[in-house]
């Protein structure tokens, strides 16, 4: 028998990253890591077959830490998974809640509700929603924002269901590996570019390479380069696979107009994904 596929996720058990991994491949062996960077490092070293990392939430937007790590590590984006996120308040009935633990993104997504219902509680950020549940199970007067599954796993009670400020709450996860993914028929490509020359119209000129070839941009976002204030990298997603002649041509032309271009990968869009 062949060995199970190993997928690395942010741990411990019960995170939304684990849920995304099981949606991507329900038969895989799940490996848990302390930090998103640990997942990418394990993928880079080949210790896991794939990593699943959160990159964007429908309420709070992109996860800057993940974007920064995609530049830092030598990994490829091979897929994406979108899952609905249902945040619950977990704890023990009858206790006076003084501390609420969760991942920074979860705390931000429930900000208004927490301010209204628990104005005096300390909001404390931890590594993941599941870690928050694990810690809340060991501390008095402490609650966690996590999933219903985490309540079952760590012996807590769901005190409130669906506490996010917006009813529609989805998180997009990237699948990370060592090799580029082949064309899948409904692909998007992700690149990172750095404009080392700050001149009027530089970004407009760059984006024109896609417009002239009728390549549909699905996302463009800036991130600090960390070199100087006001100096930025651009993360660009667009439709098509890098093996397509027009896409390849656009990428080559963009590369000539930038100080740096990193091809993260081409992969099937979330709405075309299948369990593999």
Tell me which H or E stretch contains 71: helix 64-72
> For 93-148, what is the HEC assignment?
CCCCCCEEEECHHHHHHCHHHHHHHCCCCEEEECCCHHHHHHHHCCCCCEEEEECH
Two structure tokens written together for 138: 């060991």
Contacts of 63 (CB under 8 A, 6+ apart): 54, 55, 56, 57, 105
- Indicate which residues carry an active-site annotation: 171, 173
Task: Say whether 260 sits in a helix, a strand or coil.
Answer: strand
Q: How many CA atoms lie within 13 A of 91 on its CB side?
A: 21
Q: What are phi and psi of 199, to 5 degrees?
A: -130, 150
């Amino acid at each position: 028998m062949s060995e199970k596929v190993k997928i690395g996720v942010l741990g411990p058990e019960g995170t939304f990253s684990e849920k995304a991994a099981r949606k991507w491949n329900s038969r895989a062996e799940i490996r848990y890591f302390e930090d998103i960077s640990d997942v990418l490092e394990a993928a880079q070293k080949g210790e896991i077959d794939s990593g699943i990392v959160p990159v964007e939430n429908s309420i709070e937007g992109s996860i800057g830490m993940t974007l920064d790590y995609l530049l830092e590590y030598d990994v490829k984006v091979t897929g994406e998974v979108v899952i609905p996120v249902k945040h619950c308040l977990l704890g023990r009935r009858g206790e006076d809640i003084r501390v609420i633990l969760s991942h920074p993104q979860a705390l931000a997504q429930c900000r208004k509700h927490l301010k209204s219902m628990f104005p005096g509680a300390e909001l404390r950020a931890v590594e993941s929603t599941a870690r928050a549940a694990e810690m809340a199970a060991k501390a008095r007067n402490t609650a966690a924002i996590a999933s219903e599954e985490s309540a079952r796993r760590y012996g807590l009670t769901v005190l409130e269901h669906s506490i996010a400020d917006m009813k529609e709450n989805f998180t997009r996860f990237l699948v990370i590996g060592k090799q580029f993914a082949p064309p899948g028929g409904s692909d998007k490509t992700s690149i990172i570019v750095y404009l080392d020359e700050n001149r009027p119209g530089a970004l407009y000129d760059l984006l024109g390479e896609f417009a002239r070839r009728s390549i549909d941009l699905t996302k463009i976002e800036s991130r600090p380069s960390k070199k100087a204030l006001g100096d930025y990298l651009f993360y660009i997603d667009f439709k098509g696979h890098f093996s397509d002649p027009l896409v390849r041509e656009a990428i080559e032309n963009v590369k000539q107009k930038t100080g740096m271009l990193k091809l993260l990968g081409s992969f099937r869009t979330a709405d075309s994904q299948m369990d593999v």
